[in-house]
A and B are shown apart, each in its own frame.
Chain A
Amino acid sequence: MSSYQSRIRNFCIIAHIDHGKSTLADRLLEATGTLSERELHAQVLDSMDLERERGITIKSHAIRMNYSSADGEEYTLNLIDTPGHVDFSYEVSRALNACEGAVLVVDAAQGIEAQTISNLYLAVENDLEIIPVLNKVDLPGARPDVVAQSIENLIGEKAEDVLRISAKTGEGVQQLLDQIVARIPPPSGDPDAPLKALVFDSVFNTYRGAIAYVRIFDGTLKKGDAMKFMSNRKEYDAEEIGVLRMNMEPTKTLRAGEVGYIIGSVKDVRDTRVGDTITLIADPASESISGFREVKPMVFSGFFPTSTDDFEDLRASLDKLQLNDASLTYEPETSVALGFGFRVGFLGLLHMEIVQERLDREFGLDIITTVPNVKYEVEHKDGSVVSVDNPNNMPGVGDIEQIREPFVKAEIITPSEYIGGLMTLCQERRGTYINTTYLDTERANLEYELPLSEIVFDFYDKLKTISRGFASFDYEFTKFRSSDLVRLEVMINGDPVDALSTIVHRDKAYEMGRKLVKKLKELIPRQMFEVALQAAIGSRVIARETVKAMRKDVTAKCYGGDISRKRKLLEKQKEGKKRMKQVGSVEVPQEAFLAVLSMND
């Protein structure tokens, strides 16, 4: 190990959502003097508007700090703050690849939660040194002793050794810094070997283009070096390299063990692929670093621009978003009802919501989304298998031997009193019970196998309601299994509406069909004529409702000259009209395309 490496520590902060990772990062930045008081505000690393508004971390953020430890040595600490929400766990796994250690934050009031465990396992898989800390000990509801004990049960760290800190008051943060230096191993790697730099993240900047965040495993990169991406052999010059402070800080070299950024002369931004290895053309490495497990989208939804002219803009915007978000997939889709758009794949519903919101805010695009669904595997009678991520691409019933759907193993962590209610919920969602274990005297870990389609919609909300907010859950794809699934179609005045068809379990089709047309009836305004709404499986109609024709629509009076009021009503109506889509001769509001999601309201 070279001497400079012994003074580097690369670590990330991992935890369940809201346990205080970003706030702890604030304290570390403060304690190391990385940011002045003026620069520091709460969760300073959450730099995206959306992150600030929602108070959650969506993307990992890397930052470099200098720290003089008690032994008088000057250390370089590279910190990566990670998101806690289950949809973004791939961000965590990528960050872990760039580090030797992880600080596992556990809220001392809430205790161990589902993502505490899943992120812990990720860190263990990556062979990282794990420093558990109890956070929020300042809270009156904190139960540090109980929670410390459950940490001991989980990872073996002696309960009395677990650091107790408050990211709010700063208590214990100094000790944590000392532990980071003492316990996390410095990076190894040969600065003189051929260059191996792992791209663990990338961002797109309108002015600078694609920026790759790298961890150098071997070798040394100098500004101006001719380099290449090992996956696609594309060659570029390292126009600017540097380290990540609050802003990017250019340097002349990046050496083995260091974390930094590279701005190359990359023309096509798509060439910068997260997980790729960069090496030098002059002295290439023989093999690349084993990249990341490819993230596979779990749910799919049609994204259609409200205005058909925006199709190309939507494509360009998705391209750009994908640069910062490798997990996003999309391909063109055409809908009779909604026109040209894309079938977009997401990691979960929060992810979908965030993409939609970013399209709206950052690119000014108004999007209609269709009901999200999972991906199915369909085996034809002739034995061939296709995968279907759009209900409308389902082969005809006669050709299908079987349909398989994705199943997940779910872990639900809950106070034991809610076990009964949660088991009923899992049963209703076609779950198969596996096991229950106890984390401590009060908290249990409930394991179930569930169809993914049953948990993507409102499972999480239900779980929170049943457990009064105390349960948390995490899931992991296991396998595709055959189920009795059917395609439920909706017809408006006899016209099938492709954007409304869904795939459901046969046992649930009737109830779903009934609720769906009922909800649509509420959402579709009266028209000049009667509108028939039908739900059908194949050619069999299983539910029907009618929207009666509009018979009277006239404001009685413009009171005492209050013309403004009537005009404003009209303007509002007009605005609403713009958001309608024409299905045959029926005007359908956008919300209707998501009716399935709001059926239980």
Chain B
Amino acid sequence: MAGIYIHVPFCSQRCSYCDFYFVTTAKSYAPYMRALQQEIAFLGHTYGSREKIDTIYIGGGTPSLLHGDDVTLILASLAEHFDTSEVTEITFELNPEDYSDEYLRYLKHAGVTRLSIGVQSFFDSDLQFMNRSHRSQESEAVIIAARQCGFDNFSVDLIFGLPDQPTEYWAANLEKAVELGVPHLSTYGLTIEEKTPLHKQIQLGKVVPVRDDEAAELYRFTMTYLQNAGYDHYETSSFSLPSYRSRHNQGYWHHRNYLGFGPSSHSFWWAGLPARRWANVRNLKRWQALLEGRHSPVELREKLDLETLGNEYIMLRIRTSEGLDLAELEHTYGLSLYDERIVELAWLESEGLIRPIRNDLVQLTDDGKLLTDMVTSKLVTG
């Protein structure tokens, strides 16, 4: 079973921290929709009959800028070229400012089963700092409305570690989410990506990023708070109430095949070695032009051998609560960390970064979660 990701590269304005690919100047979405259908037909031709589709994720950018009809069209087009008969999850990213009861009902009707809501914070001052285009009232309202329209399954994004954000704000954000009964939370530590307005502000000395010990405290607080509130910390940035995990995202961590559509989207396909990853051009016009000219819009291609896949597996699985399965790593990827990394494993355990290994599972402790990347770099081979 494979996943499908659709990238909708439109936003109404640029959030200061964001380095996703999108444009803010599109006058019409029609050329995008045409090219997207073209791409769906293309890939459907090659992959449509190979695997059934399990999950669909429509992200961005801001998919909620699309008209409801376009959403229906995308899903219909996928159904035409792929076997979507057994799809169990269709996620749709929604920005709070775009919601209306009507739009929500339309999405529901179109088949969307899960919403991912870009709340980021329940405080206006935070939203302004990030240059988000919504207000805090809308954040709360959209959650209530979503539930009323029958969306029990939804996720809320929250960002911590904003420069100058008082600690109480972050605690209050979490409290609010819990109080609203949000079934799934994605909490991201603010990352300063190059070429973003935020990066620029920092370089100019206008904004001082939080120190990493402060960020560490916030992350630790988040873990404790949400675990106490009954959430399962099932991946580095993902918390869910029982049975509300994101199936689609879990696919990424389990080396499940997925196909990406739209500019800048990524795909992964492993059916015999080498496995392949590829990525589309990060440019809407070129992506459209290439598809119109019946050319491939792919600009990066990679072939992955078994060791590379094994290292990916380490890097991705260590982030999950189930942990890294050394037996699976050995039998599927031919990589034995008992042989190759026994000293490191012992050291990580003695430093309290991983739990004592049981049933071949390497699981991070809360201390270890703060240093996930460092732990990963100790374990990967090569």
Contacts and interface: CB of A to CB of B under 8 A. Distances in A.
A557 B277 CA distance: 18
B114 interface: no
B315 A566 contact: yes
Nearest to A556: B188
A364 B186 CA distance: 48
Contacts of B155: none
Interface stretch (A379-387, A445-453, A567-575): A567-575
Interface string B158-194: 0000000000000000000000000000101101000
Contact of B258 (A551, A556, A561): A561
Interface string B266-290: 1110000000010100000000000
A550 B266 contact: no
A577 B377 CA distance: 9
Given A553-B372, A554-B373, A564 B189 contact: no
Contact of A563 (B189, B219, B266): B266
Nearest to A552: B216
Contacts of B370: 551-554
Looking at chain B's contact residues, the main secondary structure is mixed
Given A555-B372, A556-B236, A567-B315, A561 B216 contact: no
B158 to A, nearest CB: 11
Interface residues of A, number: 25
Contact of B252 (A548, A550, A561, A574): A561
B237 A557 contact: yes
A551 B213 contact: yes
Contacts of A554: 189, 219, 236, 369-373
B377 A561 contact: no
A560 interface: yes
Nearest to A564: B277
B127 interface: no
A571 B191 CA distance: 20
A574 B377 contact: yes
A550 B371 contact: yes
Nearest to B369: A554
B64 interface: no
Nearest to A551: B216
A564 B279 contact: yes
A559 B277 contact: no
Given A553-B370, A556-B191, A528 B351 contact: yes
Interface string B81-117: 0000000000000000000000000000000000000
A558 interface: yes
B212 A562 contact: no
Contacts of B356: none
B316 A574 contact: no
Contacts of B266: 560-564
Interface in B193-221: 212-213, 215-216, 219
A563 B277 contact: yes
Contact of B374 (A553, A560, A562, A563): A553
A563 B308 contact: no
A548 B216 CA distance: 13
A567 to B, nearest CB: 6
B5 A560 contact: yes
B213 A567 contact: no
B371 A548 contact: no
A554 B189 CA distance: 9
Contacts of B382: 571, 574
Contacts of B215: 551-552
B29 interface: no
Contacts of B237: 556-557
A505 B264 CA distance: 58
Contacts of A563: 252, 266, 268, 277, 312, 315-316
A574 B351 contact: no
B380 interface: yes
Contact of B212 (A551, A561, A570): A551
B59 A570 contact: no
A140 B308 CA distance: 59
Contacts of B236: 554-557
Given A528-B351, A570-B377, A570-B380, A560 B315 contact: no
B212 A574 contact: no
A578 B59 CA distance: 38
Nearest to B251: A561
A342 B266 CA distance: 50
B317 interface: no
10 contacts: A553-B370, A555-B372, A556-B189, A558-B252, A558-B316, A561-B267, A562-B266, A564-B279, A567-B312, A570-B315
Would you list the 7 A-B pairs with minimal beta carbon distance, nearest first? A551-B216, A552-B216, A554-B372, A556-B188, A551-B213, A561-B266, A553-B373
